[in-house]
């Protein structure tokens, strides 16, 4: 009885009745057709991508609570142009792909063993997550301090804006997610590759700068290769002003950080922000695994838009923009998404057997969210009951602790 009452409460928050939900069952939608159980709608007769319709039944009008105009918040890496190179590949999602993602750009990148993402720097910060293989990262800061570190699956790195760095693959095949704290990452003046700079500098200047003959620079690649074949480098780095360690380290090792407590019992959570990874001052993240049928509870983020990368499984989310505007999206592995700044949302694992695994990214120094249930539970119960037209005893029994990931019930 209590569960039914709480369900009615949540529906009331969005201004809909339970009967409206019940009228639109999955009849027709799971077959890729915009037809509901009341007979509204009709079959698709014109050109359509049937496979996409099957993958996105909520685009066909399945959710009666969807309303108004909500811009697209979803992009699949499978729709991105893949740049194939000797030693690997890269494919991006930038603001021209997903205009709603203003704060964050992203890429998937693959390096074969020994291959190098050439020496470079950015005018924006770079954050990376290794999900296959292992890599070496190398970076040097403005004080002549450096770090060379080996990262394995689940490990993370962060290079601040302007930090000189490179990445090399160590296993036969290595792959990682890259995040940048500017959606317009492809703009000129964002990435600076060292060989590109050297080939566009007079050789007489290079000779004077390095104290070397001009002939030394005759074979520098042009145009720059971006990714280059190589062999694993085991040279030790010494000198300068010493190695970056402790809170100054660019590397976050997952094994050194326990998972967060999840009161709702619906999965696991790892928060990676400046509180657990001090150098990461502009990009905060959460790595989430949600059990089958579980729910990332209704919430919003007061400090940033939320960018997402779905790594495994299938999920569903509704984005609420205020003014009765809401839209539901279907997500699966390889999709990216963005929930606009302060928009209300949830994420549901729609699988009965497989975990839904995703990474949340925020252009902020910390992860912050406000739980809808906790907010209502910590507001005078009479006000909540009057506002939502629900029984007072229901308002009095709402969970006062964030549930975060709610197990299937």
**Total Cβ atoms within 10 A of residue 267:** 23
Local mean pLDDT, 10-residue blocks, the chain (409 residues): 47 43 58 92 95 96 97 98 97 98 98 98 98 98 98 98 98 98 97 96 98 97 93 96 97 96 96 98 98 98 98 98 98 98 98 98 98 98 98 98 97
Tell me what pLDDT residue 150 has. 98
pLDDT of 223 reads 87
Residues 6+ apart with CB under 8 A from 287: 129, 154, 269, 270, 272, 357, 359
User: In the annotation, is 360 catalytic?
Assistant: yes
* pTM for this model (two decimals): 0.92
pLDDT of residue 38: 87
What residues contact 380, with CB distance under 8 A and at least 6 apart?
none
Count of helices and strands (H, E) across the chain: 8, 25
**Catalytic-role residue among 51, 360, 396, 401:** 360
Tokens, residue 182? 């500017």
CA distances to 110, 202, 309, 327, 339 from 13, in Å: 44, 65, 28, 15, 19
Place of tokens 């790595």: 287
The pLDDT value recorded for residue 4 is 44
What is the structure's pLDDT at 24? 44
């Amino acid at each position: 009885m209590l569960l039914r009452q709480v369900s009615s409460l949540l529906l009331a928050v969005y201004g809909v009745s339970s009967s409206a939900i019940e009228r639109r069952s999955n009849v027709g939608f799971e077959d890729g057709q915009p037809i509901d159980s009341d007979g509204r709608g009709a079959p698709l007769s014109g050109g359509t991508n049937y496979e996409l319709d099957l993958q996105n039944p909520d685009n066909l009008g399945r959710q009666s609570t969807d309303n108004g105009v909500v811009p697209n918040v979803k992009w699949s890496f499978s729709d991105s142009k893949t740049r194939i190179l000797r030693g690997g590949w890269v494919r991006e999602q930038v603001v021209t792909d997903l205009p709603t993602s203003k704060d964050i750009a992203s890429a998937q990148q693959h390096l074969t063993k020994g291959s190098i993402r050439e020496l470079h720097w950015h005018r924006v910060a770079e954050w990376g997550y290794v999900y296959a293989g292992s890599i070496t990262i190398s970076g040097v800061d403005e004080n002549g301090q450096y770090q060379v570190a080996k990262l394995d699956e689940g490990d993370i790195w962060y290079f601040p804006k302007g930090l000189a760095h490179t990445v090399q693959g160590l296993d036969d095949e290595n792959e990682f997610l890259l995040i940048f704290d500017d959606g317009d990452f492809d703009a000129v003046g964002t990435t600076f590759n060292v060989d590109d700079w050297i080939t566009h500098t007079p050789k007489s200047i290079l000779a004077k700068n390095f104290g070397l003959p001009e002939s030394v620079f005759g074979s520098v690649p042009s145009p720059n290769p971006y990714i280059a074949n190589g062999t694993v480098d085991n040279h030790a780095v010494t000198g300068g002003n010493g190695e970056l360690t402790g809170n100054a380290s660019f590397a976050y090792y997952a094994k050194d950080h326990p998972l967060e407590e999840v009161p709702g019992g619906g999965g696991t959570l790892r928060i990676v922000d400046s509180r657990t990874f001090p150098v990461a001052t502009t990009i905060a993240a959460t790595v989430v695994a949600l059990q089958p049928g579980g729910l990332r509870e209704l919430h919003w983020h007061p400090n940033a838009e939320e960018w997402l990368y779905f790594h495994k499984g299938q999920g569903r989310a509704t984005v609420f923009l205020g003014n009765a505007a809401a839209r539901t999206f279907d997500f699966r592995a390889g999709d990216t998404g963005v929930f606009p700044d302060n928009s209300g949302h949830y994420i549901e694992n729609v699988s009965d057997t497989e975990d839904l695994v995703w990474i949340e990214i925020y252009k902020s120094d910390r992860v912050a969210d406000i739980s809808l249930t906790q907010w209502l539970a910590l507001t005078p119960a009479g006000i909540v009951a009057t506002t939502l037209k629900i029984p007072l005893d229901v308002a009095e029994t709402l969970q006062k602790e964030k549930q975060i990931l709610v197990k299937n019930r």
